[in-house]
Amino acid sequence: MAAHLSYGRVNLNVLREAVRRELREFLDKCAGSKAIVWDEYLTGPFGLIAQYSLLKEHEVEKMFTLKGSRLPAADVKNIIFFVRPRLELMDIIAENVLSEDRRGPARDFHILFVPRRSLLCEQRLKDLGVLGSFIHREEYSLDLIPFDGDLLSMESEGAFKECYLESDQTSLYHAAKGLMTLQALYGTIPQIFGKGECARQVANMMIRMKREFTGSQNSIFPVFDNLLLLDRNVDLLTPLATQLTYEGLIDEIYGIQNSYVKLPPEKFAPKKQGDGGKDLPTEAKKLQLNSAEELYAEIRDKNFNAVGSVLSKKAKVISAAFEERHNAKTVGEIKQFVSQLPHMQAARGSLANHTSIAELIKDVTRAPDPQWVISVLIEVEISYKFANSILASEDFFDKLTVEQEFMSGIDTDKVNSYIEDCIAQKHPLIKVLRLVCLQSVCNSGLKQKVLDYYKREILQAKRLLLQTYGYEHILTLHNLEKAGLLKPQTGGRNNYPTIRKTLRLWMDDVNEQNPTDISYVYSGYAPLSVRLAQLLSRPGWRSIEEVLRILPGPHFEERQPLPTGLQKKRQPGENRVTLIFFLGGVTFAEIAALRFLSQLEDGGTEYVIATTKLMNGASWIESLMEKPF
């Protein structure tokens, strides 16, 4: 059991065990020894619900990545393909099956589509002459995956593009299915609130699914009080800004995938005196990041500027704990110290890792305070060489300054000189597009001449760099415009100042060390999406009707009647539990802001977060870029 999934008000281990049970049942249908052939994208999400030990218990002896040509040799009775319903993957599967048939002896083939079966994929397998080779063709409804005690994700990488560019409701259907599964496990959610077209569609699907369900009434006492469905395009601004929480910056700089991050190994190598830094490791350091690690749970949602002091205090506490060994005189005292040793050593290792990560982030963001670094390193009993790598990153702060100027409403209506310089110096295209889109969103669209100038400069600059990419970027700009990220201003009216002022999206005085408002996660900017959730909780959306009419899509409320005896009677001081579902993706900074609200003594609401995809600005823009043919 994953203990960290049961720490919060909602025990997400119940969901994890339900999807594990479904997996075990499928594996047991395939009697005998097994080899699993994985669609590589699925290995990360599956790792969060089923480790190899579980698969081994059900006679899985080999695992391979899905690739063309022949499969590696495996003396097993069953070969099972775990794949997403993608036509291009069917071609590879057919190649694998045909090569195995030629190799002999005969194997039993099975295919498990995640999260749904596809008639188109099965037709492709039939056209390729291998559909009849599969004994079992089933689907595995892995709609929502528990990432942490308050976090669920579908990890649907194309959800935003499908919804807002291609008018494909597939991911919305699976969001609705996932929500129905949650209600089957945790009780009917009495109230549904929503904002946006996709939110409305998901709510309608849920209502229709409930009506079509002919089974007995749900008799489980409700765990959730409210469901808030929120379209990503209601708040296009937040993901474009640079996240400034500890977890957010790790994701911005290195990318967190399925709770894991890969980091440069040199910062984690134990240095020995006189070794001159020889034989440094070359393989990336891979760390799991979730609330199972006590220190990470404490610092992940803090503004990065508040992390150093926490690490320094932890270092002193750990150092003092190890010094206690000198005070252990009796056999009983020594035995007690020895029993605490594994936990203390784990805490010291955790501190060392996060000190190294903080140092890596500081290399990118700004020069560290030497006293902070030295104090932490002395306490952890590790010595690192500080060389030229610990220098202020002027570009990071120039970019951050421009972002914050845009978000506070400064110079959003004209060509920005920093963006011009980035284009001229051929900075990464994603960085340039992210800034231009941010300016566009903060100005309710760009003036036509400003938009035309940026487009012309981007396309010309890239043609000089690599001429064959020209057409691709024209399509990318079209995608960004269709998504509402990069567009001309219509009607000559900028609505952003009204939204910013009414929702208090920009705060000049932010306490990063001891925050009193969600704006600490961006050092001034309060995520619009989270502010909407906060205002829904108290005093309610009626107080912001004007802004809700400006923001895209309808806002609505639905009530789901509960059977007699299941109505919740809240105890004095008991918080509501709201499930907030981001349709189109959510950032770690938004998650941090919601956790901050959950922890407020007088907040009145605790949040569980669900999403189609965990994302940041770079991965979001990349998902909208057209790939070369």
Q: Residues 449, 327: one domain?
A: no
Residue 199's nearest CA partner among 226, 234, 162 is 234
Laid out side by side, the sheet with 151-153 consists of 145-148, 151-153, 605-611, 576-583, 226-231, 191-195, 555-559
CATH of the domain at 182: 3.40.50.1910
Are residues 205 and 152 located together in one domain of the fold?
yes
Integer CA distances (angstroms), 68 to 83, 142, 183, in order: 14, 26, 41
Residue 393 reports pLDDT greater than 80: no
Same domain? For 360 and 389 the reply is: no
Q: Clarify whether residues 131 and 179 are in a common domain.
A: no
629 is a domain residue: no
Give per-residue pLDDT as tens, 332-341. 767 776 777 7
Same domain as 137, residue 172? no
Can you give the CATH number for the domain in which 410 is found?
Answer: 1.25.40.850
137 with 157, same domain?
no
- Asked whether residue 130 falls in the same domain as residue 178, the answer is no
Mean pLDDT of 397-424: 94
Kindly state whether residue 519 falls inside one of the protein's structural domains: no
Least confidently predicted of 317-326, 428-437, 571-580: 317-326
Cis-peptide into 370, omega within 30 deg? no
> Same domain for 12 and 138?
yes
pLDDT in the model for residue 459: 78
Q: What is the CATH classification number for the domain harbouring 30?
A: 3.40.50.2060
In a domain, 508, yes or no: no
97-136 confidence digits (pLDDT tens): 999 877 777 889 999 999 999 999 999 999 999 999 999 9
Question: What would you report as the CA-atom Rg of the chain, rounded to the nearest whole angstrom?
Answer: 26
Q: Is residue 160 part of a domain?
A: yes
What is the rounded CA–CA span in Å between residue 355 and residue 376? 7
Q: Range of 53's domain? A: 3-142
Residue 112 and residue 83 in contact, taking contact as beta carbons nearer than 8 Å: yes
What are 435-493's pLDDT values in tens digits? 999 999 999 999 999 999 998 888 776 544 443 335 568 889 999 999 999 999 987 78
Query: Do 202 and 130 have their domain in common?
Result: no
The least confident of 222-236, 480-494, 540-554 is: 480-494
Q: Which of 107, 142, 177 corresponds to the end of one domain?
A: 142
Report yes or no on 154 lying in a domain: yes
Same-domain pairing of 24 and 135? yes
Is residue 26 domain-shared with residue 127, that is, in the same domain? yes
pLDDT at 370 over 60: no
Maximum alpha-carbon separation in the chain: 82
**319 and 300 part of one domain:** yes
Does residue 377 form part of some domain? Answer: no
| pLDDT value for 344 | 82
Last residue of a domain, one of 447, 475, 493: 493
| DSSP structure string for 265-316 | GGGGSPP-TT-TTTT---SPEEEE-STTSHHHHHHTTSBGGGHHHHHHHHHH
Per-residue confidence (pLDDT) for residue 32, from 0 to 100: 95
For every residue of 144-159, which 3-state class applies, written as one string?
Answer: CEEEECCEEECCCCCH
Where residue 413 falls among pLDDT bands split at 50, 70, 90? very high
Query: Which pLDDT band, with edges at 50, 70 and 90, does 531 fall under?
Result: very high
Domain boundary residue among 102, 123, 142? 142
The rounded distance, in Å, linking the Cα atoms of 426 and 423 is 5
How many domains would you assign to the chain? 4
The answer to whether position 504 is within a domain reads no
Q: 52 or 620, which is more confident?
A: 620
Residue 516 lies in a domain: no
User: Where are the extended beta strands (E) located within 15-107?
Assistant: 34-38, 60-65, 78-83
